Amino acid sequence: MSAKHKLKLALRQTYARILFHTGLHRVVDRLMPRRLTILVGHSVDAPECNGHFPRDMKIDGAKLEHWLKTFQRDYELVTVADGWQRIQQPAGLSRSLLALTMDDGYTDNRTALLPILQRLGVKATVYLEEFPLEERRLNWTHKLLWTLTQIDTDTYIRRYGELTQDRATHEKLQRAGREGRALYQLKRVLKYEAEAVDRARTVDQIFREQGGDERAMAERMYMSWEQARELQAAGIELGVHTQSHAILSRLSADEQRAEIQGCQRRMAERLAAPAVTLAYPWGRRWDYNSDSCAVAEQSRFACAVTSHSGTNDARTKPMELKRIPFDEDSQLHLLVAEACGGFDLLRKLGIDWSE
């Protein structure tokens, strides 16, 4: 990490702590225009269904409940669809809006998250991936994550090399193994550089060799349609997160349309109300492109969400709403500083301490 980046992180921390602990965040909140802040996570810690998830994919339930209670004091908690509609008339809002979103459709969203939301009397939005629900198929990342709880990274890379036809990827993996941060590099190379068909086959083969059972695991990890309907009946918004969680920017416009509208159609068949918002898988700027936004618009979504940090107002591009990621290691003072518009205020002053 460069010295400049370290300094920026330290300044971010100090600024956020001051706003949070002195209550200044309430002053900033009133100074700044009304906004819609969207948080994004994946799951609430529940060992029986997500025990093998890495820390950056889950959060302790009591911690999340405490955070939501804190936010409830200053914000109105809404769904994305509702929040986006209401932020169009900011003058009519007595408080800014905050939406909790959870991606992928994991079982704990029904068993662990919903009881928390109901205790607090708040709504949220859950984005569903079609294939794990409909066909009980796992995308390759979950096979990889689980296999890495069974064998170490070096063993994984060696076996990958024995099975793959994609020599270039194997060489990159070997280099990653030698350079340290092997796990991070392994995921990055497989995600962005491996040939997709070969990757799916190779990852699946190692997963099965280690005793992985795709169907059983999908059933444990992901909700059933019945559970999804229970969420919907409780007022939770369900949105589209594509069929297979592919990186959309790697697909043609037609392939993207199939991923997005396929999931949208399936949800319309299985659920009581149609989905009106979309979350791009992975959601970083390089994971979707202008075709994704065009398809989202043609598919009549009210808005679509990304995974880039920041808050939203009526001028935000509807097909590129920003979201602030959180997980077990996130810090409440930073989330509060984001939500109150603290970093937007700095940007207005020409200081960019956002991540």
Question: In which region does residue 345 sit, left (phi positive, over 0), alpha (psi from -120 to 50) or beta (all else)?
Answer: alpha
Nearer to Zn ion, 135 or 162 (CB): 135
| Radius of gyration for the chain, computed over Cα atoms and rounded to the nearest angstrom | 21
Nearer to Zn ion, 40 or 194 (CB): 40
Least CB distance from residue 243 to Zn ion, whole Å?
12
Least CB distance from residue 23 to Zn ion, whole Å?
35
> Which residue's CB comes closest to Zn ion?
103
Stretch touching Zn ion by CB under 5 A, among 69-77, 95-103, 213-221, 295-303? 95-103
Nearer to Zn ion, 19 or 240 (CB): 240
According to DSSP, residue 111 is labeled I
Position 130 contacts Zn ion (CB under 5 A): no
Position 103 contacts Zn ion (CB under 5 A): yes
Element holding 325 (H helix, E strand): strand 324-325
Stretch touching Zn ion by CB under 5 A, among 10-18, 98-106, 195-203, 205-213? 98-106
Cβ-proximal residues to 259 (8 Å cutoff; 6+ apart), any chain? 242, 243, 244, 246, 248, 251
Measured CA to CA, the distance from residue 184 to residue 182 in angstroms comes to: 6
User: Could you give the angle at which helices 182-192 and 140-147 cross, rounded to 10 degrees?
Assistant: 160
Stretch touching Zn ion by CB under 5 A, among 64-72, 88-96, 103-111, 172-180? 103-111
Least CB distance from residue 102 to Zn ion, whole Å?
9
Least CB distance from residue 284 to Zn ion, whole Å?
11
Measured CA to CA, the distance from residue 199 to residue 223 in angstroms comes to: 26
Could you tell me if 140 and 203 are in contact, meaning their C-beta atoms sit under 8 angstroms apart?
A: yes
# binding residues, Zn ion (CB under 5 A): 2
Could you tell me if 294 and 7 are in contact, meaning their C-beta atoms sit under 8 angstroms apart?
A: no
Position 104 contacts Zn ion (CB under 5 A): yes
Give the residues lining the site for Zn ion (CB under 5 A): 103-104
